[in-house]
Structure 1
């Protein structure tokens, strides 16, 4: 992302409604809104490895990692569609794969604003209200960050 008037909204399954609502409230109407979702490789990678290690490398069509990848993509599509409906304005989708915290920081490079939702223990204010991934993003993002409650 290089457009300085761009707003990057980091969507997670647990916090996306609050993120979209914050964009609706705080992003200028003419801002280029980008909805970001990151799919991790953990579950599919473990399934691929287990299948290859235990059952051999033949019959790729039976590899459970492929099914997990497909389920992840379908889930991301549903999340994007719901977020777009809730946002109610033009936006773009950005799907990345890898460690969420690293992918979000990389995607936010050059953004005008990054919207992040608290994902930790929100019963008490303070550092514990951020999970490890959100804490990393807040600490390492090179653009302004809007931190909102769930």
Structure 2
């Protein structure tokens, strides 16, 4: 390939992404370990403001420090598991849009299924991951963060002559 592979790290699924990078990214390609913090911090700050009252000093700085410490720990564990040089990138914002933006010049994105893990199919992707898979400008390696379900988990085909089900809400025009 000869480029940069982005490995999107999310809590709970990142080890599978790192293992995929170890197997699929050529040694001469660069790897960027990407973590995106979303609206969780804003929600925590809002909850504190509601509890303490607006304008009062609260532990917002502590929340920010704990979050930064947790992300740094995740990135360190990921780098150690990878076992080869990699750069890290931290972004904040709408997760799906930040991941897409981070892949602008990438040759590969590695990410994990984060939805229903009990069966194969589109619901195995959460909304942010579905957006990313549909919008990134590079190839995507989509991995199961554990054992993939059996093929028997696929719903049976509709009977002959039956109308297909409507598309999911995000695909309706």
* Higher relative contact order, chain-length normalized (CA < 8 Å, sep 6+): 1
SS state of the match for residue 9, structure 1?
strand
Maintained 8 Å contact 1:48/1:66: no
Report the TM-score, using the length of structure 2 for normalisation: 0.77
Aligned match of 2:70: 75
In 2, Cα distance between equivalents of 1:80 and 1:109: 21
SS state of the match for residue 119, structure 1?
coil
- What is the CA-CA distance between 1:8 and the residue it aligns to? 0.2
In 2, Cα distance between equivalents of 1:67 and 1:105: 30
Q: Report whether the alignment pairs 1:99 with 2:94.
A: yes
Report the TM-score, using the length of structure 1 for normalisation: 0.88
Aligned match of 2:40: 43
Q: Report whether the alignment pairs 1:32 with 2:30.
A: yes
Q: More helix by proportion, 1 or 2?
A: 1
Correspondence 1:1-150 to 2 at 5 A: 5-40=3-38, 42-52=39-49, 55-59=53-57, 63-150=58-145
In 1, Cα distance between equivalents of 2:110 and 2:40: 26
Q: Which has the larger radius of gyration?
A: 2
- What is the CA-CA distance between 1:36 and the residue it aligns to? 0.1
SS state of the match for residue 46, structure 1?
helix
SS state of the match for residue 22, structure 2?
helix
Long gaps (5+) in structure 1? none
SS state of the match for residue 121, structure 1?
coil
SS state of the match for residue 80, structure 2?
helix
Maintained 8 Å contact 1:121/1:128: yes
- State the superposition RMSD in angstroms: 1.6
Tell me the number of residue pairs that the alignment of Structure 1 and Structure 2 aligns: 143
In 1, Cα distance between equivalents of 2:3 and 2:79: 19
- What is the CA-CA distance between 1:43 and the residue it aligns to? 3.4
